[in-house]
Amino acid sequence: MATKLQPAVIAIFGATGDLAHRKLIPALYEMSAANQLPTNTSILGLGRKTDITDDEFRSQVRKSIRDFVGSDSEELGHWCEKCIHYFGMGDSGPEDFEKLNEKITAIERTFDLPGNRIFYLATPPQAFGPTIESLGEAGLNSSEGYTRLVIEKPFGHDLKSAEALNDLIHKHFREDQIYRIDHYLGKETVQNLLAFRFGNALFESVWNREKIEKVEILVAEELGVEQRANYYEKSGALRDMVQNHLTQLLTLTAMEIPTAFKAGHIRYEKVKVLNAILPIHDEDIVEGQYTEGEIGGEGVRGYKEEDGVKKDSKTPTFVSLCLRIENWRWSGVPFYLTTGKRLKERRSEIVVTFRRPPVTIFKPEEKNRVHPNVLVIALQPNEGFRVSFEVKKPGSEIAVKTEWMQFSYADSFGPLPDAYHTLLYDILEGDQTLFVSADETLASWRLYTPVLHSHHTLYPYPAGSWGPKEAQKLKG
């Protein structure tokens, strides 16, 4: 166990929900098994139901860990008995938060904890505001140790709502207490972008408009809307993925070198990127919605046939944008951001295409055509890097061929930890580097809110394809 980490009470609002049981609690157990969770750290599940006992909740936790970690040992039983607790919030009125304070205080006394508290909002976004307000009014925004507030996306649904949510949070919590989670930032490959760029002069020296022709960021999903129709109908692809996940990847790819590897310095450079992006025009965006098709040899329904989706829905399930960063490093280089549901395969990657040599000594026929060097940063499912280069084929004839050098995380380091494992550790450590600041959130919404309020043609695309053909025209 890292000695710099202190034990805490981790109170999870929405503890009976999917996120808590599929991601958060399994990640906390894996941290404990790896001796990364401070001794006596207690996990307090919070839900509306008041008739769930500690033992019943522990049984739910064991099942989640068995399903998502594959462990069901005697040691797990001891861990649940010692670390897992439950408290029913009922209607979440003022008296319920007063009782919550009493519950947390009792746990701290029982396990001799120093008063460190983490409140994790794993709830629907409409519950963020009331929960934060109630925490503040009950005095749960401070304690004898530290108090930290963790908020899942979406952080607002446009600029106005994000500003209002930030104002409410800052009414009760300081910015250094707030951890806005974007789980993509917890992926090892995403974090390694900084080491890759700033630790290798070979790449950083060509990371500019003079050497790079274009940058493409793709997050493709095979899955459809699944059980999230009620949320997705109000969200769409741009709110669900672009404003947060893809934009975070963009800022890490395009940011300048920070003066120190610290949260404040890195966040500052990311905000500078967002503020340098030119306004997005109608010709810079293509939106689509999937129709019935085939994935993995099986037929799948179109979006409008999904349960809970309106038959005349205009919600985009695909979006592709061209962004331009007007600064010294990137002026003239297009950044293409693309995401969609029911695409051909699950894939997340950043593709950097370098400019061709200004003069070629090879004849232009196909066998001698020189292709641009390409760097592929694969985020999922096979994390790693690939770089293409041109070589001459063996033989007397001059013929050029593209080959690849590659690095695989799995081959070098084995299985990578889940993103939530990394982020939860950082929350305990008090490191905000991989979390989104208030300024980043507002700068992002300032960029995309005009796009949300403008009308765009919704192009159909069959499930199992790479999206509407019009998206390819966007890239020329």
Please list the residues that pair with 461 across neighbouring strands. 290
Among residues 245, 371, 421, 453, the one annotated as catalytic is 245
Spatial distance between the Cα atoms of 433 and 262, rounded to a whole number of angstroms: 6
Spatial distance between the Cα atoms of 43 and 84, rounded to a whole number of angstroms: 5
Spatial distance between the Cα atoms of 220 and 349, rounded to a whole number of angstroms: 9
195: left (phi over 0), alpha (psi -120 to 50) or beta: alpha
Please list the residues that pair with 378 across neighbouring strands. 349, 384
| Biggest CA-to-CA distance, the chain | 86
At 173, list the tokens.
């919590």
Tell me which DSSP letter residue 433 carries.
Answer: T
Please list the residues that pair with 180 across neighbouring strands. 151, 436
CB-CB neighbours of 240 under 10 Å:
23
Asked if residue 347 lies in contact with residue 218, where contact means CB atoms within 8 angstroms, the answer is: yes
User: Known catalytic residue: 421?
Assistant: no
Is residue 69 packed enough to be buried (19+ CB in 10 Å), middle (13-18) or exposed (0-12)? Answer: middle
The alpha helices in 363-437, defined as continuous H runs, are 409-413, 419-429
Q: Where are the beta strands (DSSP E) in 310-383?
A: 318-324, 334-340, 347-354, 374-380
Spatial distance between the Cα atoms of 430 and 179, rounded to a whole number of angstroms: 9
At 415, list the tokens.
């299985």
Spatial distance between the Cα atoms of 302 and 288, rounded to a whole number of angstroms: 12
* Length of the chain (residues): 476
Residues 6+ apart with CB under 8 A from 331: 209, 324, 325
Query: What's the gap between Cα 456 and its chain centre?
Result: 26
Catalytic residue list: 245
